[in-house]
């Protein structure tokens, strides 16, 4: 998509609708047939990522019966999605934040985590006294924090996104289950 290419090359703020239309070889009005605002491109990008997460989780759902394994798998799928196109992820993550999407959009990833946690509570794997949505929000928050650090690799971190997310998950699961996890 022309807009995404320009966001990677120039940044979200420095890309105009006119430039997007020119790159896509369409009239400016044609752009508005597909998107009402430039910010809507971010929504489309987010929807693609949500679909990739669902697909990635569905691929092995039969083989990961425990909620703890599904949480690890969810983090691994999120890592893969981000690392497939690192420059695109960084450019679009920046645009997503600048457009206020972390606050404005429904917390889809938190809901995915919450469903896994709820299942773990019903299976007796996780503490039944927790709120799945609160735990889902915490997991989303730590995921986004790790993703922001990864996207800003100049911050001096030597830990990969996968390593950081798995370490965080082990820490939180140890607290949630009262036992050590793999």
How many whole angstroms separate alpha carbon 50 and alpha carbon 112?
A: 10
The pLDDT profile of the chain, 182 residues, written as one tens digit per residue, is: 788 889 999 988 899 999 999 999 999 999 999 999 999 999 999 999 999 999 999 886 656 679 999 999 999 999 999 999 999 999 999 999 988 888 888 899 999 999 999 999 999 999 999 999 999 999 999 999 999 999 988 555 567 999 999 999 988 888 655 555 55
Kindly report, residue by residue over 12-42, the tens digit of the pLDDT: 889 999 999 999 999 999 999 999 999 999 9
Spell 55-87 as b/e; 16+ CB within 10 A means b: ebbeeeeeebeebbbbbbbbbbbbbebbeeeee
Level-2 CATH architecture, domain 39-177: Orthogonal Bundle (1.10)
Residue range(s) of every CATH 1.10.10.60 domain in the chain: 1-36
CB-based contact 132:126 (threshold 8 Å) = no
User: Which CATH number does 1-36 carry?
Assistant: 1.10.10.60
Residue range(s) of every CATH 1.10.357.10 domain in the chain: 39-177
* Cβ-proximal residues to 136 (8 Å cutoff; 6+ apart), any chain: 107, 110, 111, 112, 113, 114, 115, 117
Within 10 Å of residue 38's Cβ, how many Cβ atoms?
Answer: 18
């Amino acid at each position: 998509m022309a807009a995404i290419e320009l966001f990677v090359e120039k940044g979200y703020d420095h890309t105009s609708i006119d430039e997007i239309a020119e790159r896509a070889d369409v009239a400016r009005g044609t752009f508005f047939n597909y998107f009402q605002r430039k910010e809507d491109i971010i929504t489309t990008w987010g929807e693609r990522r949500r679909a990739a997460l669902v697909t990635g989780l569905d691929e092995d759902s039969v083989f990961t019966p425990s909620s703890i394994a599904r949480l690890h798998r969810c983090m691994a799928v999120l890592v893969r999605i981000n690392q497939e196109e690192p420059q695109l992820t960084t450019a679009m993550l920046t645009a997503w934040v600048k457009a206020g999407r972390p606050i404005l959009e429904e917390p889809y990833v938190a809901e995915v985590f919450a469903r896994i946690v709820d299942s773990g509570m019903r299976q007796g794997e996780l503490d039944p006294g927790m709120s799945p949505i609160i735990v889902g929000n915490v997991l989303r928050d730590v995921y986004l924090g790790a993703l922001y650090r990864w996207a800003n690799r100049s911050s001096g971190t030597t830990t990969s996104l996968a390593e950081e997310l798995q370490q965080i998950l082990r820490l939180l699961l140890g607290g949630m289950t009262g036992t050590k996890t793999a």
